[in-house]
Amino acid sequence: MRAVSVLVVDDSPQVRAVMLRTLARAGYPVLESPHGEAALELLAREDGPRPFLVITDLVMPRVGGALLLERIREAHPRTAVLLVSGYPRRELVPVLERSGVDFLAKPFSARELLQAVRKALPAR
């Protein structure tokens, strides 16, 4: 049986590092990806850890968070997703309403990130 993890997808190395450090300190096994395209490649692998939660920025080059979410829903419907963005929530309402997933606005504290992760996780 493969280990389960949290996959952090963000094109900002600094933001990604903070999220990875916060999650690892809280005991979550973590994976990282600099953009949606690399995340899809990681998710398609047959070996290695299988993320049970993907935390993704909405606005990224190549494959953005909304398209990544769509692809995850198609190929891995049981994988939970948490969207994050620095854009105002009011600008993201259409995407958030269509997706039905949890959202966390940047900037956020370590405490807020961990609360959002616990909320987004499926019952285990």
* Residue-level pLDDT, tens digit, the chain, 124 residues: 344 589 999 999 999 999 999 999 999 999 999 999 999 999 988 787 778 999 999 888 888 888 898 999 899 888 999 999 887 766 666 666 677 788 898 999 999 999 999 999 865 5
pTM of the full predicted structure? 0.88
The secondary structure element, H or E, covering residue 72 is helix 65-75
C-alpha distances in angstroms, 53 versus 7, 85, 94?
A: 6, 17, 22
C-alpha distances in angstroms, 9 versus 28, 40, 84, 90?
A: 15, 10, 10, 22
Which residues, other chains included, contact 58 with Cβ-Cβ below 8 Å and sequence gap of 6+? 64, 65, 66, 83, 84, 85, 87, 92, 95
